[in-house]
Amino acid sequence: MLGRFISLEGGEGVGKTTNIGYIQSLLAENNIPVLLTREPGGTPLAEAMRQLLLDKNQEEMTEQAELLMMFAARAQHIKHVIKPALEQGIWVLCDRFTDATYAYQGGGRSMDFAAINWLENFVQGELRPDLTLLLDAPVKIGMGRAAQRGKLDRFEVEKITFFEKVREAYLALAEQQAERIKVVDATQNLEHVQAEIHQLVTQFIHD
């Protein structure tokens, strides 16, 4: 792969969408071509699956269906968007990727990590992000920020204990894969969050 793959992770409302544009501008300043995308989503079919995954007004979705849909959307995304970009030397900046599956389905829903790991290998082959920025904040701070946006989706209506487990799983992943996953303290004001991101991304660019 000629391009490099950066993912942005974290619980609800920690500031991923807010900061993705900032990272894009940092890459652009360094003359790096970049593609912005997100999960679940990123292609028309994967975006249609996103609608289903986030819609709370439907029959109860089984945990297995949820997990498989995350990976079904990911398979489309990788084949039609992520891999073609990386092969052309375009960097990919993705709002959430498979760490979110470990955190939400593995941590939040207590699903078997080995099953997720099997699906990860099946769908992605060797593709993994080169750098992951994990924006971390206590659940109440993130949920408070997310709530300001109004309407809540199918995940956002979960109980606080669900999001505590999501956060724990993310932090455990960061500890296990410290080389790739860098934790950013998202409780700080935006200026400080972006100063931390600036340092991490600049270092990664020059590695």
Q: Residues interacting with ligand T5A, by CB under 6 A?
A: 10, 12-18, 39-40, 70, 95-96, 100-101, 104-105, 145-146, 148, 155, 186, 189-190, 193
> What is d(CA 182, CA 7) in angstroms, rounded to the nearest whole number?
11
Q: Minimum Å distance from CB 126 to ligand T5A?
A: 19
The answer to whether the CB of 157 falls within 8 A of the CB of 56 is: yes
Give the residue with the Cβ less far from ligand T5A, 34 or 94. 94
Cα–Cα distance, 27 to 132 (Å, whole number) = 15
Count, residues in the chain:
207
The C-alpha atoms of residue 31 and residue 18 are separated, in whole angstroms, by 22
Instruction: Report how far residue 30's alpha carbon sits from residue 34's, in angstroms, rounded to the nearest whole number.
Output: 11
- Collapsing DSSP states into helix, strand and coil, what is residue 11? coil
- In the complex, least distance from residue 206 CB atom to ligand T5A, rounded to whole angstroms: 25
Q: Which is nearer to ligand T5A, 62 or 148 (CB)?
A: 148
> Toward ligand T5A, which CB reaches closer, 150 or 207?
150
How far is Cα 71 from Cα 46, in angstroms, rounded to an integer?
Answer: 10
- For residues 119 and 117, give the distance between their C-alpha atoms in angstroms, rounded to a whole number: 5
Residue 42 C-beta-side C-alpha neighbours within 13 Å: 28
Report CA Rg, the chain.
16
Q: 192 φ, ψ to 5°?
A: -70, -40
